[in-house]
A and B are shown apart, each in its own frame.
Chain A
């Protein structure tokens, strides 16, 4: 018991000293201890910028992946390996959520923390319904203005509008999700489970992680899933994807410190490197079919399909390898984190929910413009670029507003500052 409290308590004492009003959420680096075990306490008042940086990056990549494929798509990591931005996003969300709400649980008890988590889940739900409304408006517009005999078949997609009483209810139940609206429902389910995860994590972190792995294995073994409307399953199966979320939480609760020895060992690094290269090689064969003879047939048969819905082990391993390398070569005190060039990414990562929703909306809008104007590659690139600039701009405004609000709250003596971790 004592040891588990220590894991939670360490970062909290560190952050607790932070002056009110400054960003005080400072999760311990995924492997900060890897560099120097002596400085396991985070520096006061400083947040873990690497988490923000990579979450921001994940948000940009998700936005680009949601637009129709273009030149920019080649910059996204899913073209160079098995895992993609979703893994980064879910892992970091698990990490920050556990950190922020784990601290709340220590300070104010289980009930208050659980209530705050549920409030957050509600916010995400509202955001999801808002995006659905926009989607509904778009599809209705396209449906009424579209009469191309070439696409008679594709227009069957609007059949669902014929029975809105069913579709809208199913959407509110998170069972009907149009294209590109799959991450938030996953996030909602994970947040709903978070109070239990945290409770169990405080009691026995390793057991919690083991249970999570067990649930993952059982999901694969017995093919468990969340069904969706009108048929099929959730694109991201929460029963499988919880593994990344819980793993993130476990790292935040001190697991990362204990892993640091393994992470910094050269053997792990080499395994990661080799695995990433192998994944890159396999991915290459998807785009250059001439190479496909170079991947052994038997390996292909064993490997494919690489299942995104159920977070294939190959994807999970790819994420781990990527994270290991990143943590090794980007120390938490890397000076580049302060550089103005990375500032836009970090800002976006600090307001993940808002920027995520904005990204989905911008992807809709981008599609719409491309469809209405009839776009070439140049317009396409312009839309991608504008989208990213808008995300940056909005993140700056939110940041500025929160800063001002926090200042006035501090003057009034209020302690508020709850959402600083991007809300997890």
Chain B
């Protein structure tokens, strides 16, 4: 019931704000609310925000969590900036752990050590692409995810999963569906939010916000996409932590 009210409010707000924003911003990258809401909640994040303590975020990801030679424009940093903008009273500490070319299984093993060292409130785990490219057995992928998420939860952190990017030109070469499905499944089983980067980027491409098909683009497109991802992710975190609209403004 409550979620419906929030959804209604959110839609209303989106309806009121979307148009003017369009005119002002250079890049429009609206995301349907359904992709930014989740049934699972980030209770630890909510507690931290309410008590006014600093929010420590750890992003664990592969190469698509960064932009080569423009690291500070990648979505983790953009998320930090967007959160600060929306919740000015909140201190957000960010650390990013890029583990290039590592499968979920290889990453999962080291997660508990990582969390022990950094004690984050929220771990954002971006994974799936490397596994899909190496066609790791989806069952093995799922148990690795399961193991990793369990370790993170046992260490007392809230967890968000981020799935692979939508990459139209490599769609014939990388079979994502089994990995997307398994990520959704594990998120459901652990009742943690899944940030559906794939669907969101797909939507942008369909709407014409970004031309993700294009072969040769400078670094500019990557920067703009990551900026939008960071902002969408900030909305997603705020929604999942149930930080009311009043606090958002």
Q: Is the CB of B168 within 8 A of A154?
A: no
Q: Is the CB of A148 within 8 A of B221?
A: yes
Q: Is the CB of A157 within 8 A of B173?
A: yes
**Interface hits, B97-137 → A, CB 8 Å:** 100-101, 129-130, 133-137
Flag B164-181 by CB within 8 Å of A: 1 or 0 each.
010111111111000000
Interface check B163, CB cutoff 8 A? no
Closest residue on chain A to residue B168 by CB atoms: A371
Q: Is the CB of B170 within 8 A of A157?
A: yes
How many residue pairs between the two chains, A and B, have CB atoms under 8 Å in the bound complex? Answer: 119
Complex CA gap A293/B62 in Å reads 33
Complex CA gap A178/B132 in Å reads 12
Interface check B50, CB cutoff 8 A? no
Interface check A216, CB cutoff 8 A? no
Q: Is the CB of A150 within 8 A of B225?
A: yes
**Interface hits, A213-254 → B, CB 8 Å:** 228, 230-233
Contact of B68 among A149, A228, A372 (CB under 8 A): A149
Complex CA gap A147/B221 in Å reads 12
Stretch of A84-92, A122-130, A137-145, A187-195 at the chain-chain interface:
A137-145
Q: Which of A's residues lie within 8 Å of B, judged by CB?
A: 68, 135, 138-139, 142, 145-157, 178-180, 228, 230-233, 289, 292, 304-305, 307, 309, 363-364, 367-368, 370-377
Q: Is the CB of B134 within 8 A of A178?
A: no
Complex CA gap A368/B173 in Å reads 11
Complex CA gap A290/B218 in Å reads 41
Residues of A within 8 A of B129 (CB): 153-154
Residues of B within 8 A of A233 (CB): 137
Q: Is the CB of B170 within 8 A of A148?
A: no
Nearest chain A CB to B68 CB, angstrom units: 6
- Known contacts A152-B63, A179-B174, A146 near B169 by CB under 8 Å: yes
Closest residue on chain B to residue A176 by CB atoms: B135
Nearest chain B CB to A268 CB, angstrom units: 32
Q: Is the CB of B182 within 8 A of A305?
A: yes
- Known contacts A151-B167, A153-B129, A231 near B206 by CB under 8 Å: no
Contact of A150 among B138, B172, B185, B217 (CB under 8 A): B217
Q: Is the CB of B172 within 8 A of A231?
A: no
Closest residue on chain A to residue B39 by CB atoms: A289
Closest residue on chain B to residue A182 by CB atoms: B175
Nearest chain B CB to A83 CB, angstrom units: 16
- Known contacts A367-B171, A371-B168, A150 near B133 by CB under 8 Å: no
Which residue among B133, B138, B172, B217 has the maximum number of chain A CB atoms within 10 Å of its CB? B172
Closest residue on chain A to residue B182 by CB atoms: A305
Residues of A within 8 A of B5 (CB): none
Interface check B78, CB cutoff 8 A? no
Complex CA gap A179/B133 in Å reads 10
Stretch of B10-18, B84-92, B208-216, B237-245 at the chain-chain interface:
B208-216
Residues of A within 8 A of B68 (CB): 149, 152
Residues of A within 8 A of B222 (CB): 148-150
Q: Is the CB of A231 within 8 A of B136?
A: yes
Complex CA gap A155/B169 in Å reads 10
Complex CA gap A228/B135 in Å reads 9
Interface check B80, CB cutoff 8 A? no
Residues of A within 8 A of B182 (CB): 305
Closest residue on chain A to residue B169 by CB atoms: A371
- Known contacts A232-B137, A370-B213, A374-B214, A151 near B169 by CB under 8 Å: yes
Residues of A within 8 A of B134 (CB): 230-232
Contact of A149 among B39, B206, B217 (CB under 8 A): B217
Nearest chain B CB to A221 CB, angstrom units: 16
Q: Is the CB of A148 within 8 A of B214?
A: yes
Nearest chain A CB to B86 CB, angstrom units: 25
Q: Is the CB of A147 within 8 A of B64?
A: no
Nearest chain A CB to B79 CB, angstrom units: 17
Nearest chain A CB to B221 CB, angstrom units: 6
Given contacts A153-B130, A156-B63, A364-B172, list 15 more A-B pairs with CB under 8 A. A138-B172, A145-B215, A147-B215, A148-B217, A149-B67, A149-B218, A150-B221, A153-B63, A154-B64, A154-B129, A156-B130, A180-B172, A230-B134, A231-B134, A231-B137
Contact of B170 among A142, A309, A370 (CB under 8 A): A142
Interface check B219, CB cutoff 8 A? yes
Residues of B within 8 A of A370 (CB): 168, 213
Q: Is the CB of A232 within 8 A of B63?
A: no
Q: Is the CB of A146 within 8 A of B135?
A: no
Contact of B171 among A68, A135, A232 (CB under 8 A): A68
Complex CA gap A147/B215 in Å reads 6
Interface check B231, CB cutoff 8 A? no
Q: List 9 A-B contacts (CB under 8 A).
A: A135-B172, A142-B173, A146-B216, A150-B165, A153-B62, A157-B170, A157-B173, A179-B173, A231-B136
Q: Is the CB of B185 within 8 A of A304?
A: yes
Residues of B within 8 A of A305 (CB): 138-139, 142, 182, 185
Complex CA gap A135/B168 in Å reads 16
Task: List 10 A-B pairs, minimum CB-CB distance, nearest first.
Answer: A153-B63, A374-B213, A150-B222, A179-B175, A149-B222, A367-B172, A153-B64, A232-B135, A154-B167, A154-B170
Residues of B within 8 A of A178 (CB): 172-173
Q: Is the CB of B174 within 8 A of A154?
A: yes
Q: Is the CB of B133 within 8 A of A139?
A: no
Closest residue on chain A to residue B210 by CB atoms: A150
Nearest chain B CB to A323 CB, angstrom units: 26
Closest residue on chain B to residue A368 by CB atoms: B172
Contact of B215 among A146, A157, A292 (CB under 8 A): A146
Nearest chain B CB to A306 CB, angstrom units: 10
Q: Is the CB of B165 within 8 A of A154?
A: yes
